[in-house]
Structure 1
Amino acid sequence: MTRPSPTLAPVPNIFDVAKAAGVSHQTVSRVLNGDPTVRPAVRERVDEAIARLDYRPSAAARALARRRTRTIGLVVVGMPYYGPASIANAFNAAARASGWDVAIAAADDADGDAHVREVAETLLAQDPRAVVVIAPGPSVGAGLAALTSRLPVVTSVDVVPGAAAVTVDDVAGGAIATEHLAALGHDAVLHVAGPEGWTEADQRIAGWRAASERLGLRAPEVLRGDWSSASGYRIGRAIAAEGAPSAIFSANDQMALGLLAAFRDARVRVPEDVSVVGFDDIPEAAFFPPPLTTLRQDFAALGRGLMARLDDLLADREPVDAAPLTPELVVRASTGAPRPAPVAH
């Protein structure tokens, strides 16, 4: 009679160890490779799980892990624009200062979600330890949500479900711009907003609208541009033809530059006839004709904050929730008190 073959017990793998220790498989890999950033309590749990399961990593796997570079992936959607490019540059500087290499994958905001996911997959082929995402809005962010099940993810705009976020308070920025113009005596502020689908644009609208309501200002219908100076110029020409309001808040400095050029060509004086506030404080803002009042974003601090949050995630430390960074008002010559109403005779 033929005897049945003995059944072999399944060989435990790194995912079994991770489940038993209550950590990610990346953390188990870091323990195996002597990563000093792993907390002692976590290392002890992993070691106990390894001993209990009698887990023995293969020599090939250990060799591959030792060759793994200290690389962080950076997915940037909308790289041609000043904001995303500045955040990417700031994070790259902060990461390199911490001893990490950065692999960048860029996509245009008009490329579509499928292309953005393809770009992200190409980046993952480089085996990064974590990924930072700079994306314009929730539609793109949702397409990248699957990344969070594979490795730590941090984003500069809170649009990727399941990812940690380190952000700028764009709502506060919109409110600060509106409050500045109200304090000068303007009773209405027109807002030239960024394009639909961008979270920063929507949040700046929300801040402008909330401040207008709180201060009892008239809030004309929002006019949307596409972040470019050309769109600001087109909007500015239309505003000048219809009769310029006394105050305008532009959602970025490039559109504000277009507004200033349009008003100059239409012989509308800034700030005597209309005050203009921008957002970003690009390097050229101080040299606009006239120098532009704007909201300054601290991109260097944002880059450091993104890196600090990644350090926490990679070390399995409980992150300390940092408050969003509040933009700083920089007052220059493009804003002033409104002209007095003509006296009737």
Structure 2
Amino acid sequence: MTTEAERPIEPDRVRAPNIRDVARVAGVSYQTVSRVLNDSPNIRPETLQRVRDAIDELGYRPNQAARALVTSRSRTIGVLAAQTVHYGPATSIQAIETAAREAGYRLSITNISSSEYASIKSGLDYLMSQAVEALIVIAPQVRVFEAIHDLQVGVPFVTLEATGLSSDHSLWVDQVQGARMATRHLIELGHTEIMHISGPQDWIEAEARMQGFLRELGDADLRTRAPILGDWTASFGYYAGLELLRYRDFTAVFAGNDQMALGFMHACREMGLSVPGDISIVGFDDVPEAAHFAPPLTTVRQNFAEIGRRAIALLLGELRGETDLSHDPVQPELIIRESTARASRLG
């Protein structure tokens, strides 16, 4: 039988280092360590370095809840999000989290179950209960931002959208410009009969991309066709492609996102058509896999890292009381690959 003295020490019984341990190793008082952790001024550089070295040596991690009680600051930014399974919102959150961490903040994220007012209010109430210092709203539908506009948000906030409801709080990638760039690229290749497979009708980005497509065709005096309303999935792009290619009275497609472009390319292969020999295709987003489609996809890239950096910079500026903050849209970039070529003859 193993005695109590012979039993190994369980790992979870090992005490985590605390602020007094840091003070002992650094050779300073624990009050000095506290001042370093709270970014207090007038600390000598050599003292600051000794404390930081001690923190690294011990692997000390400040207790955020305890710091919030002392400083009345949570150093937490709330994110109210919907539809995070899609590439755009999910990548935006990742970029925001990276930028927040670099600025010494963490995120508290809640996903709303629907765009109903009660769900939005519940999500907002939860974040406020976490004592967030600022808020970022990422949602695809106009009615979500209408509800946010009506609710009283008591902290600095930024919305990743371009509805015009909160121009002083908005940050977005210029979706209309991105769609115009994609459509113009096809026109410059000689395509005059171009189809658009759009995202869902109630999505802000889908509407903006559709408007960009229609405006560019209008400016070029080309015939406009009713866009096909999709759902962002490759499956929709595939089945829409099978239907549209039965008639093939067009030579190019601008798909509202890369997944639908992928599905459409699948339909082309199944129908014995060449991309881009018979049909040119442009997507939107530049997902990491787009460069590896067969053929590699021409698409519109959204700079999500820049979105995250600027969203955090805007919020930190507001927290510091700055007023001259830029809300200029982030510009997209056309990435030309092998899925587009000079227009072929119809038939």
CA distance in 2 between partners of 1:148 and 1:249 (Å): 40
CA distance in 1 between partners of 2:191 and 2:158 (Å): 40
Aligned residue in 1 for 2:108: 103
| Mapped contact 1:144–1:160 kept (Cα < 8 A) | no
Q: Residues 105 and 202 from structure 1, CA distance in 2 versus in 1: closer, same or farther, beyond 3 angstroms?
A: same
Are 1:136 and 2:140 an aligned pair?
A: yes
Tell me the SS of whatever aligns to 1:144.
Answer: helix
| Mapped contact 1:233–1:258 kept (Cα < 8 A) | yes
Aligned residue in 1 for 2:279: 274
CA distance in 1 between partners of 2:105 and 2:249 (Å): 50
CA distance in 1 between partners of 2:115 and 2:207 (Å): 21
Pairwise CA distance, 1:293: 0.3
CA distance in 1 between partners of 2:273 and 2:223 (Å): 21
The match for 1:80 among 57, 82, 85 is 85
Pairwise CA distance, 1:218: 1.6
Bigger mean CA deviation after superposition, 154-163 or 258-267: 154-163
Identity of aligned residues (%): 37
Pairwise CA distance, 1:321: 2.4
| Mapped contact 2:95–2:309 kept (Cα < 8 A) | yes
Pairwise CA distance, 1:323: 2.1
Are 1:183 and 2:188 an aligned pair?
A: yes
Structure 2: segments with no counterpart, 5+ residues:
1-37, 42-67
- TM-score normalised by structure 1 residue count: 0.77
Alignment of 1:1-345 (within 5 A): 64=69, 66=71, 68-108=73-113, 110=114, 112-146=116-150, 148-159=152-163, 161-162=165-166, 164-243=169-248, 245-340=250-345
Q: Residues 35 and 316 from structure 1, CA distance in 2 versus in 1: closer, same or farther, beyond 3 angstroms?
A: farther
| Mapped contact 2:283–2:298 kept (Cα < 8 A) | yes
Q: Residues 236 and 112 from structure 1, CA distance in 2 versus in 1: closer, same or farther, beyond 3 angstroms?
A: farther
Bigger mean CA deviation after superposition, 63-72 or 326-335: 63-72
Q: Which amino acid aligns with 1:225?
A: G
| Mapped contact 1:142–1:159 kept (Cα < 8 A) | no
Pairwise CA distance, 1:117: 2.4
CA distance in 2 between partners of 1:235 and 1:134 (Å): 29
| Mapped contact 1:309–1:319 kept (Cα < 8 A) | no
Q: Residues 121 and 146 from structure 1, CA distance in 2 versus in 1: closer, same or farther, beyond 3 angstroms?
A: farther
CA distance in 1 between partners of 2:152 and 2:289 (Å): 38
CA distance in 1 between partners of 2:116 and 2:40 (Å): 38
Pairwise CA distance, 1:160: 8.2
Tell me the SS of whatever aligns to 2:274.
Answer: coil
CA distance in 1 between partners of 2:215 and 2:221 (Å): 10
Pairwise CA distance, 1:337: 0.8
| Mapped contact 1:189–1:217 kept (Cα < 8 A) | no
